[in-house]
Amino acid sequence: MAKKFIADRAEFKPSVLMQLAGLSKGMDDLIDLSIGDPDFTTPEPILTAGYQDALKGYTHYSPAKGYPDTIQAVVGSYKRDLGIEIAPENVLIAASGAYSCFLACFSTINPGDELLVADPTFLAYKAQIAYAGGMPVFFPTYEKDDWRIKAENAEPFITEKTKGIFLCNPNNPTGACLHREDLQAIYDLAEKYDLMIYADEIYTAYSYEVPFTSMLSIPGAAKRTIVINSLSKNFVATGARLGWIIAQPEIINACTMVGVNVVYTAPAISQRMAKFALNQGTQYMGDIMKEFKDRMFKTAERINRIPHLSVQCPPPGTFYLFVNVKETGLDDVEFTMKVLKEAHVTVVPGSDFGELGKGYVRICATVGLPKLMEACDRIKALGL
């Protein structure tokens, strides 16, 4: 009965990942490598800063764009960490990175607009573009390029309806980190065809091989770039639901208008956490980031010693490993199912992230090294 009331855009299609949750129920020894949520609790000083400010009365709506000192903390962190000058008018504090992305889509995409999205992709882009009435148009990225987004692979998909290009750097699910020349080429493409650049940079802190380079560091790019960032990964604070948008003031104003009519303002206590984290929280992240790097490097090495599996090593960034399983003779869904049923290890099939993800599985280094090694041992023992 209720089904007839559901809008077309909200049609529920369970992903393979959702089906896996059902299949793994009751497996006491399950090792779940499917979760893109850091296993660490947010460092105590960051939590305490939020709590202390809450006690002082930060328990209300904030100004529509966020508390001025939280905005200033974003401005200060970009200057200090990346050498990038932005002004408070360029910042909107919003309720999470995901919602920031939604606001960017809703404030800039008109029905019929086409948006270029790298395949494989973080799936929310596809849905959020569609919710805004736009059309995601996928262009390929390849393992042979270390999954780096190449402007020349996007250019053939540009039509007169193309409004912008989405970048996820560092990338979920592939772990790819873009080099300065990749970003420059994407910016040149955007200039040539007058495109907006949507740069999701929420894994800023997880770039191991090349220093993280923001799209905003490319001269001229700021005028046509919307950066999305958040506390979630860089400060292991997914539960804070706190993100921010950096863009030109006209776009910030448009996002604020949409936001005020949907969520109103970002959570006050999380904004106080963000203020502290961005000003002085990096000192508490050193051991956590070292641990992620260690897990990534050791797990990538270990995977490459399992016959018929391979992964980029050393891994470039994030806490995701995008493992090639083609030589096992199984497709990525078959591999995922077999590994779950017979080794009690959950991974995510690459095809969940797009056509080009076929033949790969995503492993999250969001459990400790002993479990990661145990998962590799179990997979190896299957003799695939």
Ligand X SMILES: Cc1ncc(COP(=O)(O)O)c(C=O)c1O
Give the residues lining the site for ligand X (CB under 6 A). 36, 96-98, 122, 168, 172, 200, 202, 230, 232, 238, 243
The minimum distance between CB 249 and ligand X, in angstroms, equals: 23
State which residue, 132 or 309, has the beta carbon closest to ligand X. Answer: 132
Q: Furthest-apart CA pair in the chain: how many Å?
A: 60
State which residue, 97 or 281, has the beta carbon closest to ligand X. Answer: 97
The minimum distance between CB 194 and ligand X, in angstroms, equals: 25
Q: Which residues contact 90 (CB under 8 A, 6 or more apart)?
A: 75, 222, 246, 247, 248, 249, 252
Give the span between the Cα atoms of 365 and 209, in whole angstroms.
17
Give the span between the Cα atoms of 85 and 141, in whole angstroms.
31
State which residue, 136 or 243, has the beta carbon closest to ligand X. Answer: 243
The minimum distance between CB 357 and ligand X, in angstroms, equals: 14
Q: What angle do CA 136, 11, 262 make, to 5 degrees?
A: 75
The minimum distance between CB 246 and ligand X, in angstroms, equals: 14
Q: Tell me: cis bond preceding 170? Omega within 30 of 0 counts.
A: yes
The minimum distance between CB 360 and ligand X, in angstroms, equals: 16
State which residue, 94 or 190, has the beta carbon closest to ligand X. Answer: 94
The minimum distance between CB 94 and ligand X, in angstroms, equals: 9
State which residue, 242 or 343, has the beta carbon closest to ligand X. Answer: 242
The minimum distance between CB 42 and ligand X, in angstroms, equals: 12
The minimum distance between CB 242 and ligand X, in angstroms, equals: 7
161-188 burial: b if 16+ Cβ within 10 Å, else e = ebbbbbbbbbbbbbbbbbbeebbbbbbe
Both structure tokens of 132: 């805004």
State which residue, 73 or 98, has the beta carbon closest to ligand X. Answer: 98
Contact 97, 243 (CB under 8 A): yes
State which residue, 99 or 335, has the beta carbon closest to ligand X. Answer: 99
Give CA 139 to chain center in angstroms.
18
Distances (CA, A) of 59 to 62, 72, 359: 9, 20, 48
Across the strands, what pairs with 345?
31
The minimum distance between CB 29 and ligand X, in angstroms, equals: 26
State which residue, 36 or 76, has the beta carbon closest to ligand X. Answer: 36
Handedness of CA 233, 235, 237, 241 (dihedral sign): negative
DSSP state of 383: T
Helices (H), the chain: 16-23, 44-55, 68-82, 97-108, 124-131, 151-154, 180-193, 231-234, 249-260, 268-276, 286-303, 332-343, 369-381
State which residue, 173 or 359, has the beta carbon closest to ligand X. Answer: 173
